[in-house]
């Protein structure tokens, strides 16, 4: 939990502000996962801070959502090209990917359980960046990724 919390602080995910009176406060919770190696032995324990995004209201807390989908035909084409050029295929796992996506809407999050600030017990976290569980997080991450791919010249046909 401390590693995840430090990642939020390092990435400037949000800042403490007085609790707003005219905005909803989104609750959050810790989700724990057990990561295993290929031989099924324990690799590490993982804690993830997740917003309870189901409390968000469309038009107030967010305006659109997004769920990226890949067609099976696209995966087959990529694998065929890689095999024909004898390229090495590797898996990419981005840690804390949603923590790098800028948030345009103003979202207020309660203190993470076990990490309440004793100096400011009534303050909330005004998010600068997305976290898992927010309705806006996948869209914000995709937009950030798309901008980077365009900048590097890796995206030839930009979509809307």
Sorted by where each begins, the domain ranges of the chain are 2-151
Dihedral class, residue 69 (left if φ above 0, else alpha if ψ from -120 to 50, else beta):
beta
Query: 């801070």: which residue's tokens?
Result: 49
85: tokens are: 């050029």
The Cα 138–Cα 68 span in angstroms is 8
The Cα 135–Cα 128 span in angstroms is 15
The Cα 72–Cα 77 span in angstroms is 9
The Cα 43–Cα 2 span in angstroms is 18
Pairing of strands 25-26, 108-109: parallel
What are residue 24's phi and psi, to 5 degrees? -70, 150
List the pLDDT tens digit at each of the 160 positions of the chain: 998 888 888 888 899 999 888 888 889 999 999 989 889 999 989 898 988 877 666 665 566 666 666 677 877 888 898 889 998 877 766 666 666 788 888 888 988 888 888 898 889 999 999 888 887 787 888 888 888 888 887 765 555 5
The Cα 49–Cα 51 span in angstroms is 7
Task: Tell me, yes or no, if the pTM score tops 0.75.
Answer: no
């Amino acid at each position: 939990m401390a590693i995840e919390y430090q990642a939020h602080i390092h990435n400037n995910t949000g800042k403490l502000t007085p609790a707003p009176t005219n905005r909803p406060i989104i609750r959050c919770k810790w989700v724990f996962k057990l990561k295993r190696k290929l031989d099924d032995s324990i690799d590490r324990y993982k804690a993830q801070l997740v917003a309870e995004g189901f409390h968000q209201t469309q038009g107030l807390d967010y305006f659109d959502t997004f769920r990226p989908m890949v067609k099976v035909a696209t995966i087959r084409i990529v694998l065929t090209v890689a095999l024909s050029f004898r390229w090495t295929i590797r898996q990419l796992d981005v840690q804390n990917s949603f923590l790098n996506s800028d948030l345009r809407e103003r979202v207020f999050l309660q203190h993470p359980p076990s990490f309440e600030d004793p100096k400011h017990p009534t303050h909330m976290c005004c998010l600068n960046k997305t976290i898992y569980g927010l309705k806006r997080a996948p869209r914000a991450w995709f937009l950030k990724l798309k901008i980077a791919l365009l900048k590097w010249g890796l995206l030839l046909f930009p979509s809307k």
